[in-house]
Amino acid sequence: LKSLAASYLAQNRYNDAKAQLLKANTVAAGDEEVVFQLAELSLSLRQWPDAVKYAQQLQQMKSTKPVSFVIAKSFYEQDNFGESLKYCEKAFKEDPKRAEVPYIAARCFVEMSNYKRAAGCFEQALALDSSRVNWMYEAGLTYYAVPDDKMAIAWFEKAGEKGHPRTNDYLENLGNAHLNAGNFEKGLVFLQEVLKKKPADQELIYNIADAMYRAGKYKDAIDYWDKVLTIDKTNARSLYMIGMAYQKSGEAGKGTQLCDRAIAMDPSLKSLKQEKKM
């Protein structure tokens, strides 16, 4: 049975191989190699409960075979992040050079919104395997959520250098991180690149206008908020900020009138009148 299972494995016939191993496990219960292969196969087949069952069976048998990663990943895939982290610690002791272990831990912390811990785990994973471009991008997203824009930019740029696709999401996240860090010129370059492909994206246009405003480019900010109003004439926030931009440009009367019109459209904007900005 074990030989037949090995033959099926060589042919990538995993379900057939597992069927033979299950028979072998019935005939000769307690065979460590059989149980280990059942755990590994269950993981490959994404049969998470079986992977946990056989891996934990091995541990109960006091086996020295390293299966904590099997359990950690299986619990993660079942959204049991606490148990996954517990076994990540054990998996790291079994194989401290396996980059997937801190990566799974990072994903667990992200799912629990513990972004600082997640960022540290991504750093650890990438120190062990610096070829994972998608991990670099995820590290950037995690630092962005911390928020730590300087580190987010660093990892976004590393991902780009290593070949991460310049998708709209990638460019927008990198651009926003630059804006948050006060790098308005750089941030605007990325956002405007996205705008060429998403010319009617109201939120994107608003963000560009806001960046122009923060950079002191009030005329450009007004032009972009006007574009928002062309798409949606009821967007009171854009009208309010146009008023603010006119006031910053020295046209206080015109700006005040526009702000008042915006407040009449949306009374909740009245609170902005005190801080004079969004």
SS (H, E, C) 49-65: HHHHHHHHHHHHCCCCC
Q: Average pLDDT for residues 23-38, to the nearest whole number?
A: 86
- Helix 2-10 and helix 32-44, axial crossing angle in degrees, nearest 10: 30
Task: Give the Cα separation of 219 and 231 in Å (integer).
Answer: 19
Rounded to the nearest 5 degrees, what angle is found at the Cα of 78, between the Cα atoms of 75 and 81?
55
The model's confidence at residue 20, banded by pLDDT at 50, 70 and 90, is confident
Task: Give the Cα separation of 16 and 6 in Å (integer).
Answer: 10
Q: Average pLDDT for residues 14-41, to the nearest whole number?
A: 87
Q: 104 or 3, which is more confident? A: 104
Q: What digits encode the pLDDT tens for the residues 251-271?
A: 999 999 999 999 999 999 988
Task: Give the Cα separation of 245 and 228 in Å (integer).
Answer: 15
252: nearest Cα among 224, 225, 218 = 218
Q: What digits encode the pLDDT tens for the residues 179-218?
A: 999 999 999 999 999 999 999 999 999 999 999 999 999 9
Task: Give the Cα separation of 65 and 113 in Å (integer).
Answer: 33
What is the structure's pLDDT at 275? 53
Task: Give the Cα separation of 104 and 106 in Å (integer).
Answer: 5
Task: Give the Cα separation of 251 and 188 in Å (integer).
Answer: 26
Q: Maximum Cα–Cα distance for the chain, whole Å?
A: 90
What integer best gives the mean pLDDT of the chain?
Answer: 94
The model's confidence at residue 19, banded by pLDDT at 50, 70 and 90, is confident
- SS3 of residue 234 by DSSP: coil
Ramachandran category for residue 250: left, alpha or beta (phi over 0 → left; psi -120 to 50 → alpha): left
Is the predicted pLDDT of residue 274 greater than 60, yes or no?
no
Distance (Å) of CA 64 to CA 58, 61, 95, 129: 8, 9, 12, 25
What is the structure's pLDDT at 278? 42
Task: Give the Cα separation of 189 and 172 in Å (integer).
Answer: 10
Read off the pTM. 0.88
267 preceded by cis ω (within 30°)? Answer: no
The model's confidence at residue 6, banded by pLDDT at 50, 70 and 90, is confident
What is the structure's pLDDT at 99? 98
Residue 242 near residue 274 (C-beta atoms within 8 A): no
**What are the chain's domains?**
1-65 (1.25.40), 68-162 (1.25.40.10)
Task: Give the Cα separation of 101 and 129 in Å (integer).
Answer: 11
